[in-house]
Structures are given as structure tokens and as C-alpha cells.
A = this chain, B = another copy of it.
Amino acid sequence: MIVVMKEGAREEEVQAVVSLLQGKGLETHLSQGAEKTIIGIIGPKERVLGMPIESMAGVEKVVRVSNPFKLASRAFHPQDTLVQVGPHVVGGANPVIIAGPCSVESREQILEIAHAVKRSGAHMLRGGAFKPRSSPYSFQGLGEEGLKLLAEAREVTGLPVVSEVMDIEALPMMLEYVDVLQIGARNMQNFPLLRAVGKTDKPVLLKRGLSATIEEWLMSAEYILSEGNRNVILCERGIRTFEKYTRNTLDLNAVPVVQYYSHLPVIVDPSHGVGHSRYVLAMARAGIAAGAHGLIVEVHPRPQEALSDGEQSLTLEDFDQMMREVTRVAEAVHGVEAPVYVPGR
């Protein structure tokens, strides 16, 4: 960290800052320019996190020069992390496709979808059993019954299943049934929940919060990693912007940025990201072209009858078309001379 003193800061003011820092066991380094004095702080940065140096007399501002995440950083772990889920690897050259309904609605529905997406080439099955809804009066999911149906669908198709965990109480039950624990966007900074999933060894799909910066998202991954669970998959699912023609704004910039700063795999959710099925194919192709390690997509055989998110669900036919399109794009991208990401490039 660097403390920038105001122009004309007095010698005593500079000394007060230096003394405070040294009193905390930090080494300081002074640079005196024509206009300003700068105090570099050398040492474990955590010690200064809570110190209100900016409110001291003569201080203009404090500038952080390191990223706050460690275990999630590429500096700490230069190779790409690969997360194994059943027979599939998330984080390698082959994009992994996760598909399924927003909510598990019935045995027929989930089995029909599971068989269909498997036929089209999907690698995993998604489906919500506990749904975070902004209204207490909306459909909240089938609960444990939904988890059992997911497990049955896995048994008959072989597809690993992904489902959202909303609170710590439900975690033991989720661990019984699912292969990947999803942390939803609204829980990205539910720190007790992050710690709890961090204490398991189950793969975690961590969605980016609606208005979270990439740094905050990686700090949430850090919470999970710091408890010992290294199987974190990041998922970009759209951020809130001023745009009204889309539900959210899928931020594909996050794909190469995450790959630059972190070793964790990153996949893309074009369904929530854009919110209308008519735009999902274009954004799925774009996500793969940007270098994402996979996609998670909402699919429903009859979107008009879906109990939630019907507007953004692909039909089974649209999904099949999507698989063909993204396969061609993936070949185009991975066939070019330069791979999607070269560490250290």
C-alpha cells in the first residue's frame, strides 16, 4: 500500500503516519517528490486494512497496490485449475455444457429434459430445487423432492447434477444428492455459506453477484478456497446495468479478465445473462469464442408452461441447434494458432 500525502503536508504529519505504521510492525519507505511525499508500506498488507490512514491530517489518499486475493490468484497458482465432475473436467480445452430447467417441476419434466439434453451432447444436468425468488408469493421450488428427482435423472442418464444451495441448514441434504453445489448470485457475499461449502470437497459453481466487481467475486472464491475446498468453478451470469431490453448484461469481458488474474475455470450463463431466449444462441456462441470453459443454459420442452424463467429457456430443439453452433465455434477457436489463453502472455 502507498500513502499519498497532500501537497504541503507538514513534516510532523508525515512522521505521524510513519510512526503509526511502524508501531504496527510495518516497514515504510519514503519518497519525496517536488510536489508530494509518498510513503510506501512494505509488509503483510492485512495489518493495515482496518487502519483509517486516510482520515489522518495531511493525508490525501491511500492506494492499494496488490490484489487482495491470494489463493485465487494466478500468481499463487500459475497453471489452470481443472475441476473434475464425474467423468468431465471443467477448465480444460473442451467446453463443458450444463443444461436443464430453471426449476425441477415434476418427474416427467426432468426426465424428458435430461434425456434430451444428453442426446444433444450436454455434459451435466442443472435444475433448481430451492429457488431464491424476489417475491415470497412466487414458486419456491420442490425442495427435497426436487433433489430426489435430480438424482433419479442422473441415475438414468449418467449426467452429474448441479443445483443451488441457499442456506447452511440445507447443505447436508444437498451433499447427498448433487454433484456440484451452486452458489447463486444473491448469495455471492453470504460469507457464512461460502465458508460452509468451503469445508466440503464438493465442486462449487460460484455465480457472480448482480453488481459485483470481478475482484469481489474472486474474494468470494477466496473464502471457499481458504477453507480448503479447491474445486471452485466461476460462473458469469450477467450484471445489472441501465439496459432495459435485456434482463441483465452478460459480461463476457469477465472471461479473459478472470483467466488473466486467476487460475480458476470460468463458465458463462447466457440464459440469465441476457434473459430472453431469442438472444441466447448468439451469446452462447460469443461466450465460447471469448474462451469460456463451458456454458450453463436453461432448457424447457414447453417454455410457456415453465413455473419460472420460461422467457429465457431454450426449447429442446433450440438447445440442439445451440450445441451444433457452439461446437463449431469451439473448433474454430481452439484450432487457431494462439490458444484461448497463454499463462503469462
Chain A interfacial positions (CB closer than 8 Å to B): 2, 4, 6-8, 20, 27, 29, 31, 33-36, 38, 40, 42-43, 46, 49-56, 60-61, 63, 65-66, 68, 75, 132-139, 166-169, 186-187, 189-193, 195, 210-211, 213-216, 219, 222-223, 226, 239-246, 249-257, 260-261, 273-274, 276-279, 281-283, 285-291, 303-304, 306-311, 313, 321, 324-325, 328-329, 331-333, 335-338, 340, 345
Contact = CB atoms under 8 A, between A and B. Distances in A.
B325 A137 contact: no
Nearest to A46: B137
A249 B249 contact: yes
Nearest to A56: B304
A257 B274 CA distance: 10
Contacts of A34: 42-43
A34 B274 CA distance: 32
B308 A50 contact: yes
A135 B166 contact: no
B311 A337 contact: no
A33 B29 contact: yes
Nearest first, the 5 A-B pairs at minimum CB distance are A52-B310, A289-B289, A211-B211, A33-B42, A332-B332
A165 B148 CA distance: 32
A335 B328 contact: yes
Contacts of A191: 132-133, 136, 166, 186
29 contacts: A29-B33, A33-B43, A36-B66, A49-B135, A49-B137, A53-B304, A55-B278, A132-B189, A134-B216, A136-B226, A167-B168, A167-B193, A186-B190, A211-B242, A215-B245, A239-B243, A243-B254, A245-B257, A246-B257, A250-B252, A252-B252, A256-B279, A282-B289, A285-B290, A285-B291, A286-B289, A321-B337, A328-B333, A328-B336
